[in-house]
Structure 1
Amino acid sequence: MEQQTKPIFARYQYAKAKARLLIKEFGLTAPPVDVEAILKARGAVVKYHMIEEIDYAVTFFYKGRHYVSVNVCNPGRDRWSLAHELGHIELGHYHTYNLDTLAEDKLTEKERKTLDREADVFARDLLMPTAWVRSIAGGAVEFKDIDCLAERFEVSWEAMMIRLDELGLFDRAESLF
């Protein structure tokens, strides 16, 4: 199969399927997902930094290994960031597009955003799979219950609220009034 040189569109269904396959492969049955353990099982090196100016995670592919660096100054986002970076790895972004990093000089802004959207869908479905969220939520969720669900899945309140809204279990627009 010939390698694609540039991402053209986000493969959302592919990202969802890859997250489901990973959950199955690792025998995961309930939250929270230990993303760091999965990264390490895949041979990645995970490092934490405290550089405030770099408040995001970044992955480099060097000598056949992925190196993931994530900021510890924002503990609410670190698991999402790790899952997002795992998404880039599992979705083959480095190999498919022959990259050592998703740096600005390697891809256009539009191409990077396309790959980031795929990685976000992967992260969302890995950390908060539809079946788990529906099962644990048990139906429509009230505003006051979002915090408990976020704690259970070890995701941010905002990530949980968005996921519940996507699944039709919470209407965030209605909750504002």
Structure 2
Amino acid sequence: MNKDILTRVREIIPVRAITQGEALILAERQAALLLQLLAIRAVPVDVFKISELPNVEVQVKPRYEMSAIAELPETSEVGGVTHMRRDGRTVFTINREDPVGRRRFSLAHEVKHLIDDPAVEIMYAKFGYGKPENRARQIERVCDHFAACFLMPRTVLKRAWVNGLQDLEALAEQFKVSMSAMQIRLKYLGLTDEEERPASEYFRLDGPSLIFGADCPDVAA
């Protein structure tokens, strides 16, 4: 049943370099398609159905083992790691010491890396402006966006909001995500605004001043 799911999700990737804006739109389309192909029709999203993808394995490990797998210091905050085994299987390793909301988000984040893997060099060629570290950060943001779209589908979240479920903590609990992830998603969808600020804050004069005297033609007239 699921043997062609990854192929079908990958088919909508353009065979060219894309902008970050295009990447975010694509990530949401991929998330919606994956939900459909995995027959997920309820929230909280059953993110563990990702383990039903062909040649995919999901495991959880303590933080110190996560750091070793990722080849990072033990103090590093590693939520998830993807690696390929010699037998060709993809293994998603998730930090078991993280809260459940972050574990779910990390797993969804990692599957985006798997989806994009065959096309990553072409599709993200414009990212980072030639700086590998900037490119990597931008790709991580796209994967975060995919995870948010997968766990908090636009239509479902908007319907919940319109029906009166607007408390941040209650929404996070309903969708089984962290409050910070829910807050970011609500803001992205335009359901919440920035914190109220004084009007003067929108007209701030940052940076050094350039002093001009009365002899300036524009002010002397």
TM-score (norm 1): 0.78
Where in structure 2 are the equivalents of 1:117-132 lying within 5 Å?
117-132=141-156
1:97-141 CA-to-partner distances (Å, cap 9, x unmatched) read 48xxxxxxxx92122123212211111110001100011122676
Secondary structure, aligned partner of 1:150: helix
1:11-58 CA-to-partner distances (Å, cap 9, x unmatched) read 112111111111111222221112222233343111111125343211
- Equivalent position of 1:152 in the other structure: 174
**Aligned match of 1:58 in 81, 96, 107?**
81
- Residues 158 and 58 of structure 1, relative CA distance in 2, 3 Å threshold: same
Total equivalences in the alignment: 159
**Aligned match of 1:167 in 189, 204, 218?**
189
- Residues 137 and 42 of structure 1, relative CA distance in 2, 3 Å threshold: farther
How far apart are the structure 1 equivalents of 2:53 and 2:158?
Answer: 28
- Equivalent position of 1:115 in the other structure: 139
Where in structure 2 are the equivalents of 1:62-141 lying within 5 Å?
62-63=85-86, 64-75=88-99, 76-90=101-115, 92-93=116-117, 95-97=118-120, 108-138=132-162
Q: More relative contact order in 1 or in 2 (CA 8 Å, sep 6+)?
A: 1
Q: Percent identity?
A: 33
Alpha-carbon contact 1:130-1:167 (below 8 Å) kept: yes
Q: Which runs of 4+ in 1 moved over 3 A?
A: 7-10, 139-142
- Equivalent position of 1:44 in the other structure: 56
How far apart are the structure 1 equivalents of 2:52 and 2:77?
Answer: 22
How far apart are the structure 2 equivalents of 1:152 and 1:47?
Answer: 24
RMSD of aligned C-alpha atoms?
A: 2.6
